[in-house]
Amino acid sequence: MIHNGRAITVQRLDDAIAELRFDLQDESVNKFNQVTLQDLKDATQAIKADGQIKGLVVTSGKPVFIVGADITEFGAMFSSSVEEITAKVLDVHQIFNAFEDLNLPTVAAINGVALGGGFEMCLACDYRVMSSKAQVGLPEVKLGIFPGYGGTVRLSRVVGVDNALEWIGTGTQYKADDALKVGAVDAVVSPEQLQAAAVDVVKKAISGEFDWQTKRQEKLVPVKLNQIEQMMAFNSAKGVILAKANPAQYPAPKLALDSLQISVTQTRDEAIKTEAEYFAKAAATPQAKALIGLFLSDQFVKKVAKKHEKGAHDVNMAAVLGAGIMGGGIAYQSAVKGTPIIMKDIGNKQLELGMNEANKLLTKQVERSKITPAQMGETLARIRPTLSYDEFKDVDIVIEAVTENPAVKEKVLADVESRVRDNTIIASNTSTISITRLAKALKRPENFVGMHFFNPVHMMPLVEVIRGEKTSDEAIATTVVLAQKMGKTPIVVNDCPGFLVNRVLFPYFGAFDLLLKDGADFVQIDKVMEKFGWPMGPAYLIDVVGIDTGVHGAEVMAEGFPDRMKPDFKGAIQVMYENQRLGQKNDVGFYKYELDKKGKKAKVADPSADALVASVATAEKHTFDDQEIIDRMMLTLCNETVRCLEDKIVATASEADMAMIMGIGFPPFRGGPCRYIDQIGVEQYVALCNKYAHLGKAYEAPQLLVDMAKSGKSFYG
């Protein structure tokens, strides 16, 4: 044994060749934490000191190669100054450079996922042999940063500037054939051949059949591109990448491009310094802190879901009641993920609508070559449309997705309960109606739970699992398991009007209505909130949701929380509804909707909407300061999120933030409502609430925030 550490071992395979094996103790995956980095430093020194090794194979003792850096260590590191972050990153570069500079050929045997720092380790090797089952990539931009262990420097020299810009700027993960096509790896073999193939490459390098020294030299010198070629490559990349990522919201791709544009003209050692400096600039941004926090929250939410799974019974057959767009979407999602589902409605016309929805979604996948026609047929075969309850004795869980009307739902729920087994779970896809209230119509309320999908079902990742007063742990567990089987992220919340997401969303619409009453222009509000980071402004959003749906939801919220959600004036949303302007449903709302060249509904200005808004305004229409619009819109939403924590509707800030990002499109680079409050500063945020408290209860700081401000606490510490 040449080296035996907690993360890395080095031992001889024969007299000339050694194996450096990543196998981090007490962890299910390999990652670059402080232990691994120190071990790599020590292992490199041990190999260099040995003097007899002529070639090295780098392997993994786990199903993955290396997943990347240990993100849990980023918080402490990124809270430093730009200069301190730069110095710390340069320390890591010295470790990677020392490995790359070993006077012998090195080959990475990539057996599984190699991402971020994991793939940067592969790039530090002379050759890369990849399993056909593995995937590689540099996804750091999704965390608000970019590769910081030499990835920008080495990849641009291995695959060329164009390909490197695409890989780094988009953060895409690539399969083996795609990596081979651009030269990111040198060979792709079956998993069982991987070790032998890597050893064979080393032997050929030792024998001189492969010129490893010339290959390595290409990574140590500037990229071979003339000035015109460089200009064309970077201008093209900036046009494509920056169109997808607004630098004001996501600065990392732009910083990565700027770093690369300088470093391609430099030697490796000079380029490494440039990368470290620009990496530190990205790491110090609030966006990086928010996106890294978001990643950690996502991991936390998954762990919480695992805890909720205990006591679940198997779901081998599901059913959905109601075959509209929502029911069809639920049926599609279940079937496409492998769980057979019965779709019941009261008429063939409705069943056709549901099947058409599934058919439409699958056809699009076939057209995009995501699935084959045969796979489409298999998926459709898992959906069984029916007009009767005949097969419901075999169903493990029923999802009710009929119209959002308590009387209708209660009748349907009582009916289905009498047709299923005593242990069948019944879930309601209601978006606002209390689960405890609906459970009163049932004989077995312990088997009843809320399962709130978001529209469109196939695109929205969140499912709220709602616990009523009498809902059992088994019902929660089974519903959580089904949501995960359907490819969704379940978050368990307690019962109240609107549950979590809609309860938080409606004060946001209330703030919008109040701004219009005070003379704001809804087009300006939309533009400001979209610039803030929302996928669409509130006027456009309510048009997409459906103004009738919004009015119904607002009535439920007003009944549940009259102190802050029952307005004392008639708002513009209500006026639109009274004038039968329902948004995209009938092509008129705050905007008018016309088909564009691609056949999609596009919004256009409609003067009649302005007139209706003016009819409820108590002040002349005027331009508001952008920040005042942001403050007035965001305070009500963030305050209600905090009240949901106070009321124990949601257990943690991480779950609340993830629900808002996945459920209503809260800007990810801001990290969610609780993290947004943290970034403003809790004390400063409470002062902002006090500034606008005269507008009503919804703007007043919740007591939890007042207490946190006094004690200097924050949600994420």
- 452 is annotated as an active-site residue: yes
Q: Given a cut of 80, is residue 230 above it in pLDDT?
A: no
- Which two three-digit tokens encode residue 664? 């209503």
| pLDDT score, position 637 | 98
CA dist 279 to 212, 535, 564, 584, Å? 30, 27, 45, 44
CA dist 178 to 172, 185, 332, 595, Å? 11, 9, 30, 37
CA 317, 400, 663, 645 torsion: positive or negative?
negative
Query: In which band, very low, low, confident or very high, does the pLDDT at 236 lie, cut at 50, 70 and 90?
Result: confident
Residues with Cβ within 8 Å of 684's Cβ and at least 6 positions away in sequence, in order, are none
> What tens digit of pLDDT does each residue of 127-181 get?
999 999 999 999 999 999 999 999 999 999 999 998 999 999 999 999 999 999 9
Strand partners, 492: 465
Q: What is the CA radius of gyration of the chain?
A: 29
CA 190, 193, 198, 201 torsion: positive or negative?
negative
Active-site choice (3, 308, 452, 458): 452
| pLDDT score, position 597 | 85
Q: What average pLDDT score do residues 528-535 get? A: 97
CA 400, 403, 404, 410 torsion: positive or negative?
negative
Q: Given a cut of 90, is residue 51 above it in pLDDT?
A: no
Global pTM value: 0.92
Query: In which band, very low, low, confident or very high, does the pLDDT at 703 lie, cut at 50, 70 and 90?
Result: very high
Q: What average pLDDT score do residues 274-287 get? A: 96
| pLDDT score, position 52 | 92
3-class DSSP state for residue 266?
coil
Q: What average pLDDT score do residues 412-437 get? A: 95
Better-predicted residue by pLDDT, 274 or 246: 274
3-class DSSP state for residue 650?
coil
| pLDDT score, position 243 | 78
Q: Given a cut of 90, is residue 600 above it in pLDDT?
A: no
Local structure of residue 494 (DSSP, 8 states): E
Cα separation of 137 and 68, whole Å? 10
Range with lowest mean pLDDT among 240-244, 382-386, 528-532: 240-244
Is the separation of the CB atoms in 156 and 130 below 8 Å?
A: no
Cα separation of 76 and 99, whole Å? 26
**Of the candidates 354, 495, 473, 452, which has an alpha carbon nearest to the alpha carbon of residue 662?**
452
